[in-house]
Amino acid sequence: MLAVRSRPLSRRVTPLVTLSIIAAMFPLSLFAQATASTSQPAGWVKEFGTMWTFDAPPLAYWKARYGFTPDQAWLDHVRLSSIRIPGCSASFVSSAGLVMTNHHCGRDCTAGASPRDSNYVETGFAAASLGDEKKCANMFADQLQSITNVTDRIRKAVTATTPAKQVEQRNAEIDRIQKECAQQPTEVCEVVTFYQGGMYSLYKYRHWTDVRLVMAPEEGIAFYGGDPDNFTYPRYDLDLTLLRVYENGQPLSPHDFLKWSANGAAENDVVFVTGNPGSTGRLLTVAQMEYLRDVDYPARLAGYDRLLRIWHALAAASPEAARTYQNNIFSYENSKKAVTGYRAGLLDSAIMAKKRAFERDFRKRVEADPALRAKYGAAWDEIARAEKEMASFARNLQWQSFGGGSNLLNIAGGIVRLPSQGALPDSARLPQYRGAGLDRIRQQIATIPVDTAFERRALAATFAAWKEALPATDPALVLALKAGGGDPDRAAAAIIAKTTLADPAARRALIDGGASAVAKSTDPLIAIARTIEPVNRRLAERAAKLDAVISSNAEKIGQAIFAAYGTSLPPDATFTLRITDGLVEGYPMNGTVAPYKTTMFGLYERASDFDNKPPFQLPDRWAKGRDRLDLSTPMDFVSTNDIIGGNSGSPVINRNAEVVGLIFDGNIESLPNRFIFTDEVARSVSVSSRAIVEALRKLYRADRIADELTGGR
Amino acid sequence: MLAVRSRPLSRRVTPLVTLSIIAAMFPLSLFAQATASTSQPAGWVKEFGTMWTFDAPPLAYWKARYGFTPDQAWLDHVRLSSIRIPGCSASFVSSAGLVMTNHHCGRDCTAGASPRDSNYVETGFAAASLGDEKKCANMFADQLQSITNVTDRIRKAVTATTPAKQVEQRNAEIDRIQKECAQQPTEVCEVVTFYQGGMYSLYKYRHWTDVRLVMAPEEGIAFYGGDPDNFTYPRYDLDLTLLRVYENGQPLSPHDFLKWSANGAAENDVVFVTGNPGSTGRLLTVAQMEYLRDVDYPARLAGYDRLLRIWHALAAASPEAARTYQNNIFSYENSKKAVTGYRAGLLDSAIMAKKRAFERDFRKRVEADPALRAKYGAAWDEIARAEKEMASFARNLQWQSFGGGSNLLNIAGGIVRLPSQGALPDSARLPQYRGAGLDRIRQQIATIPVDTAFERRALAATFAAWKEALPATDPALVLALKAGGGDPDRAAAAIIAKTTLADPAARRALIDGGASAVAKSTDPLIAIARTIEPVNRRLAERAAKLDAVISSNAEKIGQAIFAAYGTSLPPDATFTLRITDGLVEGYPMNGTVAPYKTTMFGLYERASDFDNKPPFQLPDRWAKGRDRLDLSTPMDFVSTNDIIGGNSGSPVINRNAEVVGLIFDGNIESLPNRFIFTDEVARSVSVSSRAIVEALRKLYRADRIADELTGGR
């Protein structure tokens, strides 16, 4: 799945802070070859991928590689046919405002539009007429109108000399630019930071909020193969939702929409994908990647496993329990698979060698100029030093904390911490307690519901982890285990039995009682939290300082790279519109070759291979309708386009800007692309346009919609 | 493909030389736990696999693991239903002597039985009646009658004190045993060496030579997916030949044959495979495995690539050329895939860790007893030292030689070497020139045909390799390059133009002329060979000495292990009958799960995925007959049985000894099983018994045969 996930991938996100006015002054002559033309293939480093912005299309590269020379009208048409919806991408696919996106992108709409006694997510839905189309709550569609480079304006607004003041000035100017731009409720404006501050652009969107559900197949076919097949290929999914944008209660008639290809995608076709990739880390240094590989990701994966063990145990109790925990299990299995894939790339010595080579080269160029060396030469080593120090106490930071999965322990930590943080001036607080953070935390702590069965197990797992990670004399560990005679399980049970924090009223009383109430409390979790709090605060403050070092140096590196390469290297993903080029191509897989496409035969193959057991069970409509289908119809296909979470629902188009497919996933080999782009075996996975029409006509009795897509063909 | 291949896997094969009379004296008490019962699961080390001999079935282990307790009648019935044919395995599957094996095992028979204007390998064949069944040339069927332990008799016969004399006595005794045993032309007897000399068994077979072709499908379906899908899964092959054994011109009525299962294999079924695995290396030491991993296999793989580049270049010239070189290309691609897979296991740190742990443990036990330590303690280090020394000049041995792929260079080397080797006493010659070797080499040299286009490229590639591997002053290199002004390509072209060795008469003249003719020859290849010969001879003699050290120490280790574990560890494969247990089970693959079975849907899926292009093109009969088939019929399936080359054609049977499948391959993850058995993702791949019947009835109009298999069901 490629929607942008709410859980952030990394503890440290791309910084949006400070800027050094370096890019403009950077001596370009040093990189003459690389920057001779920003759209020459020569200036492109493949590992940075192909997520091009619409204001810097690599025309010379496309011409050299594919003999493809789109004019500005082609680019404008494609841009205006593309749509951003919450967390996903989409496109106009008819003159009457029909919008194509993924099933998982329209899921909330589909569920919300369901009648009381049924669920369209399970049963599928196809509106028989315009009047039957269902309004979606909280859905919108944004169409990118214009991109304006505002780098100079922002740089000029920043006149202060202290970093804090610089941030303030910059944010204020961004606010001003956005407000000036968005004059109407139908306009949305965002200033986007590229290259970690190397470039700022104003993105202006046309914004629609009347979006209606036209058609969604059963989740059983949209997400066929479920969790096992997620992130893999060969695949047999019809991951589709069709929506329609309305304006003034009538279907919108967009000037630009993508026409339907008569033949779909053929092997070796050049194809383009437009959409909003969410986040990549291709500008990270080797040291940052190594930290992720060796410290951050292993801890994260262990955490997923810890929680998955708990949910699996709870789910095993009854079918009802299985339903309750199914979403948690799926979500964490999904994250585990993704992070395992990201880490696999960082563990791949061939992939890392490319990254090292780039960094070595680039640093050499910086080192060769004394002025540059003085300014930026230290940045990589500064980051490496900070990462190394961070690693030295990462285990303590992780476990001398309120973390580990128990919400109750986390709540206890918040209750203990709130009075002291509240007493500090804003700038002296821990980052998450600054500004509106304090009130938000107080509100969450007071209201969050608690699942006691889960809490007991989560607490036991946390105590067991403490026992392994911390010295036997650690005061919090001693206090925790005392409750269970040294045994984590018994300790957790005893503490859960005694604590009152499951009751929101008890929490509120402690919050309202402030520091003295906390100090006097005999609640066992509060007692443990009191012991942890000062230790954890010192560790968190140390980590925050190191994060700042890393952020400011990462910024320098990002800006230096941008100054050197300009837009010939596409910027890291920012959940804004990009266009990526690629080829429809199979790849070597597991000793043999994966085909460029699958067909409907394969859907029935996989179902019968697994004796039609979930998640390989066919929806009834598909099981019964088999003989109506031409089973040789292409179902899904793969291409070398550069996509990531946020690209869900992106159209795949040919040279004529006709729809041949619908992006819905990447193969497992594409996960390392988060950091270093490769296309030897990494592939994007799309629904074939032909499968969409075949299914609409033969199974969903939806000729009305199929005709609208194909122009009646 | 799992037939025993004629090209040996390893330069050094399991030794059949000398023996130390240690096993009988080995203090079993030291390993009391492991040897308490030779059939207890406790005495089994999983990494040694499950290729059990019929005289040591692991009854307690089967009972503990599967609750399966076959009686002696079951074992006898299964043994007598199993058949060995040239290079492959097979089984009786009807009361009228019908024999089931793989398509690739019956290929020569099928080709030879074809009429002049057609080829049954391509068109398929099904005899309409008994009278229509076609006699196979050079085919035989051997049924294992009895196994007799002859270890004591052989030990007693060996009374000499020198190793050479010991070998002679032992071989003479083996000859005597075999001759005494095989009194009739219908009897074949072999003494088999197990555990590198830890145990000797006499295998006595009933031997039939009238074997006829009953049915073979098209190679296009038998080997569907061709080279890419070879060694992989999911798979869609009907790799089947049906033969019939005749006696006195009538179909044989075997007392024992396997009945057909009505339902085939279901998920998690316990299944057994009987057959003749050819060769494994599970007794090798870590040092031997590391030598293969770091020296032998990389050189071998580079060699395959060198030759493949040449053949691909030659094949590109014309469709005619493509046909000429197709077999070479296939054979070497196949070897490359296999060796890459073997090496992958040796590169897998988790797999090697198991091997290391076993070796460390076992050595510790030997070290713990002073007497044992004195006798066997040094064996591992002796091998490691020899392998290390071997590695130190492996590059010289490889390139200061007549190797590299050019037959002409090899011929020149033989011509130069024959006179000097012929002049030596037999025992002083290089190993391959001893005994009948000298005459064989002389004969080969005089007659082998030469493909000049290939030779020019092979010679150029060899010279290029010399240039890279040897110092610029190497005399042979200097001499070779002189012919082309320093350029390998031009040198090869010039030498090929000038040499007369392509002409067998010229070779014969040099052979007949002896040493003085060789010395006087001005042929450029003879000149180069004269320069190489003395250097290579010294290297070869050094390598032979090290090989002897490795062989004798490997023998000690094998015998020590046998003495400790007995038959609770199955011996390395010896192309004799084994029975292996396993489960029908899917496995984790490429981020998702591979199903336990495939169905006929998948055959049509794969064909349409690849737009019906070779090697995924369907045979006509299958393309046209699609609607007659029930596409949900299981096609192939996987199980955890322990198989390797030689197991081709093995039956897969259930607890009732009914046929549920037909082994034809292993998945790519099973290749490392050559050295260390694992079953997490390694799988055997079989044709489903149900696919055989479905195809016979619906596509081959062969109800006669299907009824015979199923008893008319």
For B89-110, give the secondary structure using H, E and C: EEEECCCCCEEEECCCCCHHHH
Residue type, B582: G
Rg over alpha carbons for chain B, rounded to the nearest Å, is: 27
Say whether pLDDT at B565 is over 80: yes
Nearest CB among A229, A591, A631 relative to B592 is that of A229
The secondary structure of A528-557 as a DSSP string is HHHHHHHHHHHHHHHHHHHHHHHHHHHHHH
Round to whole Å and give the CA distance between B364 and B351: 20
Does residue B25 register a pLDDT over 60?
Answer: no
Q: How far is B590 from chain A (nearest CA, A)?
A: 7
Output the 3-class SS for A205-242. EEEECCEEEEEECCHHHHCCCHHHHCCCCCCCCCCCEE
Chain B residues whose C-beta sits inside 8 Å of any chain A C-beta: 225, 228-229, 231-232, 234, 267, 337, 341, 589-593, 595-599, 601-602, 604-606, 608-611, 631-632, 667-668
Contact B592 A631 (CB under 8 A): no
pLDDT at B533: 95
Nearest to B590 among A590, A596, A610 (CB): A590
| Average predicted confidence (pLDDT) for chain A | 91
B651-653/A88-92 β-pairing: unpaired
Q: Which residues contact B536 (CB under 8 A, 6 or more apart)?
A: B397, B400, B401, B402, B413
- The string of DSSP letters for B350-368 reads HHHHHHHHHHHHHHHHHHT
> What are the tens digits of pLDDT across the range B380-401?
999 999 999 999 999 999 999 9
Which residue in the set A341, A605, A631 is minimally distant from B598, CB to CB?
A605
Which of B590, B604, B667 is the closest to A601 by Cβ? B604
- Bridge partners (DSSP) listed for residue A241: A101
Measured CA to CA, the distance from residue A366 to residue A561 in angstroms comes to: 10
Residue A4: C-alpha distances to residues A85, A120, A337, A649, B177 (Å): 11, 23, 16, 11, 75
pLDDT at A16 over 60: no
CB atoms within 10 A of CB A235: 26
Q: Look at A557 and A430; give whichever has higher pLDDT.
A: A557
Question: A42 vs B175, which has greater pLDDT?
Answer: B175
Q: Which two tokens stand for residue A577?
A: 């519109």
- pLDDT tens digit string along B30-62? 332 333 333 345 678 899 999 999 999 999 999
Identify the closest residue of chain A to B666 by CA–CA distance: A591
Nearest-Cα residue of chain B relative to residue A589 = B590
Mean pLDDT of chain B: 91
- Residues B258-269 have a mean pLDDT of 96
Residues recorded for chain B: 713
Distance CA(B199)–CA(A190), nearest Å, equals: 80
User: Which residue in chain B is spatially nearest to A597 when comparing CA positions?
Assistant: B609
Chain B residues in contact with A599 (beta carbon < 8 A): 605, 608-609
pLDDT at A29 over 50: no
Report the candidate in A247, A287, A60 with the shortest Cα–Cα distance to residue A143: A247
Show the CA angle centred on residue B145, arms to residues B711 and B175, nearest 5°: 150
CA separation for the pair A20, A30 (Å, rounded):
20
Query: Which pair of structure tokens corresponds to residue A298?
Result: 């292993």
For chain A, what percent of residues have pLDDT higher than 90?
79
Instruction: For residue A3, name the pLDDT band (cuts at 50, 70, 90).
Output: low
How far does the CA of residue B615 sit from the closest CA of chain A (Å)? 11
User: CB distance B608–A632 less than 8 Å?
Assistant: yes
SS3 state at B582: strand
The pLDDT value recorded for residue B3 is: 60
**A360 to A42, A48, A355, A365, B28: CA distances (angstroms):** 19, 16, 9, 9, 60
* A595, A610, A632 member nearest B595 (Cβ): A610
- Per-residue pLDDT at A261 exceeds 70: yes
- For residues B640 and B583, the answer to whether their CB atoms sit within 8 Å is yes
Q: How far apart are CA A692 and CA A701, in angstroms?
A: 12
For residue A602, the chain B residues in CB contact (below 8 A) are 601-602, 605, 609
Amino acid at B343: R
β-strands A658-666, A259-260: how paired? parallel
Chain B contact probe: residue of A235, A590, A622 with most B CBs at under 10 A: A590
Please check the confidence at residue B11 and state whether its pLDDT lies above 90.
no
How far does the CA of residue B341 sit from the closest CA of chain A (Å)?
A: 9
Could you give the C-alpha distances from A391 to A282, A340, B108, B191, in angstroms and in order?
21, 20, 64, 62
Q: Say yes or no for a CB contact (<8 Å) between A597 and B609.
A: yes
The C-alpha atoms of residue B350 and residue B345 are separated, in whole angstroms, by 9
Per-residue DSSP letters for A99-137? EEE-TTTSHHHHHHTS-TT--HHHH-EE-SSGGG-EEPT
DSSP letters for B153-222: HHHHH---SSHHHHHHHHHHHHHHHHHHH--STTEEEEEEEEGGGTEEEEEEEEEE--EEEEEE--HHHH
Q: Which residues of B touch A268 (CB under 8 A)?
A: none
- Residue B678, pLDDT > 60, answer yes
Which residues in A lie closer than 8 A to residue B337 (C-beta atoms)?
A: 591
Note the pLDDT of residue B710.
Answer: 96
Cis ω before B57 (30° cut-off from 0)? no
Distance from CA of A227 to the nearest CA of B (A): 8
Q: How far apart are CA A713 and CA A659, in angstroms?
A: 14
- Which residues of A are less than 8 Å from B341 in CB distance? 591
Nearest to A595 among B590, B591, B610 (CB): B610
- A381: CB partners within 8 A, 6+ apart: none
The answer to whether the CB atoms of A232 and B592 lie below 8 A apart is: yes
Vertex A383: Cα angle to A382 and A389 (nearest 5): 90
Q: How many residues does chain A have?
A: 713
Sign of torsion, CA A631 A635 A638 A641? positive
List of chain B residues whose C-beta atoms are within 8 Å of the C-beta of residue A631:
604, 608
A interface with B, Cβ–Cβ below 8 Å: 225, 228-229, 231-232, 234, 267, 337, 341, 589-593, 595-599, 601-602, 604-606, 608-611, 631-632, 667-668
- A463: nearest Cα among A440, A439, A441, A495: A495
- Minimum-distance CB partner of B231 among A337, A589, A591: A591
pLDDT of residue B42: 61
pLDDT above 80 for B136:
yes
Let me know: does A182 contact A231? Beta carbons within 8 Å: no
B296 — alpha (psi -120 to 50), left (phi > 0) or beta? Answer: alpha
pLDDT band at A4 (very low <50, low <70, confident <90, very high): low
Tens digits of per-residue pLDDT, A108-125?
999 999 999 999 999 999
Using CB atoms within 10 A of its CB, is residue B634 exposed (0-12), middle (13-18) or buried (19+)?
buried
pLDDT tens string B282-310: 999 999 999 999 999 999 999 999 999 99
For B520-547, give one letter per residue: b (16+ CB within 10 A) or e: ebebbbbbbbbbbbeebeebbeebeebb
What is the average per-residue pLDDT within B657-671?
97
Q: Rounded mean pLDDT of A352-358? A: 92
pLDDT of B108 higher than 80:
yes
pLDDT in tens, A405-447: 999 999 999 999 999 999 999 888 888 888 888 999 999 898 8
What are the b/e assignments for B136-148, b being 16+ CB within 10 Å? beebbbbbbbebe
What was the pLDDT predicted at A565? 87
User: For residue A231, which residues of chain B lie inside 8 Å, CB to CB?
Assistant: 591
Interface with chain A: mutation pick from B337, B601, B636, highest number of A CBs within 10 Å? B601
Average pLDDT of A544-571? 88
For A627, which residue in chain B has the nearest alpha carbon?
Answer: B627
Is the predicted ipTM greater than 0.90, yes or no?
no
A interface mutation test: which of B605, B610, B638 has the most A CBs within 10 A?
A: B605
| Inter-chain contacts counted by CB atoms under 8 A, chains A and B | 78
Comparing CA positions, the residue from A91, A142, A191, A110 lying closest to residue A686 is A91
The single-letter code of the amino acid at B314 is L
Kindly report the CA angle at B36 between B32 and B38, in degrees rounded to 5?
125
pLDDT the model gives residue A27: 28
Q: Any idea which of A685-699, B132-146, B435-449 has the lowest mean pLDDT?
A: B435-449
Shortest Cα distance from A593 to chain B (angstroms)? Answer: 6
Beta carbons of B188 and B51 less than 8 angstroms apart: no
